[in-house]
Every structure is written in structure tokens, then in C-alpha cells.
Chain A
Amino acid sequence: SQQGEEDPQALSIQEGENATMNCSYKTSINNLQWYRQNSGRGLVHLILIRSNEREKHSGRLRVTLDTSKKSSSLLITASRAADTASYFCATDAKGGSEKLVFGKGTKLTVNP
């Protein structure tokens, strides 16, 4: 079965630095989405990138998708302490039922 895997599992940086998180998956997808989860809270949708797109920007976020390598990256530029959270990628399998398959996430800590 398809599974998203993020790396690193944990990342600690200083405020102002950039943070890069990676995600790999196993099967063909319709799209890939990134979500943020603050500790003990629900998920906030960040960005969706379709399988025919290679790069997408939203504010300080930049997402890339390489379908030949079945991988994606999320870059957060000029990080802030408020970016501290867990970040998950989720994939929607081509030909599937629209269910999302999540990885275990990257826990990002931004130190002030």
C-alpha cells in the first residue's frame, strides 16, 4: 500500500533560517498536500500540488514535486517561532477513492 514518508523526523532551527522537509511516496498520485499540526490541535491545510505541477508557492512556502522520484519537498523561508509544529504530507492515489495517505510527519522547532 502507498505510504508517505517525511524526513527528517525532527528538525530544529533558529528563527530566520529556512526549513526544508521532504516526503516520499510509493504509487501514482493525483495530488500531494501538505498540512501543519500544532501540538494537540487539528490539521491546517497549507498547499496542494497536482501531479502535473512541478513547483508551487504560497507566501513563505515553496513546494516542489518530482513524480519520477515520487518525492516532494516543503521549504519554509525566513522561519518564525510560530512555525513550530508538525508537518505532514498526504497523497491521494490515482484511481483511488480520494482518501488521503499521511506520513508520520516532521516535527519542526523554530527557536527564537
Chain B
Amino acid sequence: NAGVMQNPRHLVRRRGQEARLRCSPMKGHSHVYWYRQLPEEGLKFMVYLQKENIIDESGMPKERFSAEFPKEGPSILRIQQVVRGDSAAYFCASSPPAGVTDTQYFGPGTRLTVL
């Protein structure tokens, strides 16, 4: 059973470009979470999605950031018109349907660098 997969692992963008980060949850997992980590900091929650639904986006910046988890395919975190402050590691986590376990399993992360 493959773990949570994220790609790309490293992404370099120039200011004003778009960044698209992908996350494939573990098999059988229907819940996806995105977190952001700045250097020397803990992870900060961004958004929680289930298939085709955003459950909690209280940690998402109001502008330029969006997330989706379509019926088929990976979850996508999209950052439009990137700025230097968006440089960070972005982690995706997944968990199975409610009642199985509360553990969230993390992917290896995508390290975004904005030049």
C-alpha cells in the first residue's frame, strides 16, 4: 500500500507565475488535508477536503489560493500569482473515512521556491 504521494517534490517559480501542487492520498483514504511549513516552524493547517467537497478552508489565504479534490484524480493546491512569501514546504496528509482512525498520514511534501 503506497503512502501519500506528492509531486513535484521541488518546484521553482518566478513571481507572478502559478504553482500547482498535487497530492494522491493513500488507497482507501477519502479525506485530504493541506498544511504549510515555513523554515524552523511547525505546520499550519490550510484546508480539509473530502471528495468534491471543501470541509474546512479556515487556514487558506483569502486570495490567490484554491484547492480541489475531484471525484477522480489527485487533490490539487493551486497558488496563483505567486509571491516570495509563498516560499515554503507544502504537505498533504490523508486519513480514512471517519470512525476508522484519527491518524493523518503525511506525504513527503513539495518545496516551493519563488524567485
Query: Interface of A with B (CB < 8 Å)?
Result: 4, 30-31, 33, 35, 41-45, 48, 88, 90, 92, 97-105
Contacting pair A98 B48 (CB below 8 A): yes
A101 nearest CB across to chain B (Å): 7
Our pick among B41, B44, B45, B102 for the contact of A31 (Cβ within 8 Å) is B102
Residue of A42, A101, A103 ringed by the most chain B CB atoms within 10 A:
A42
Q: How many A-B residue pairs have CB under 8 A?
A: 64
Instruction: Give me the 5 closest cross-chain CB pairs, A-B, nearest first.
Output: A102-B42, A97-B56, A43-B106, A42-B108, A99-B45
Please classify the interface of chain A as helix (H, G, I), strand (E, B), loop, or mixed, using the class held by over half of its residues. strand
What chain B residues lie within 8 Å of A43 (beta carbons)? 43, 91, 93, 106
Query: Interface of B with A (CB < 8 Å)?
Result: 31, 33, 35, 40-45, 48, 55-56, 58-59, 91, 93, 95, 98, 101-109
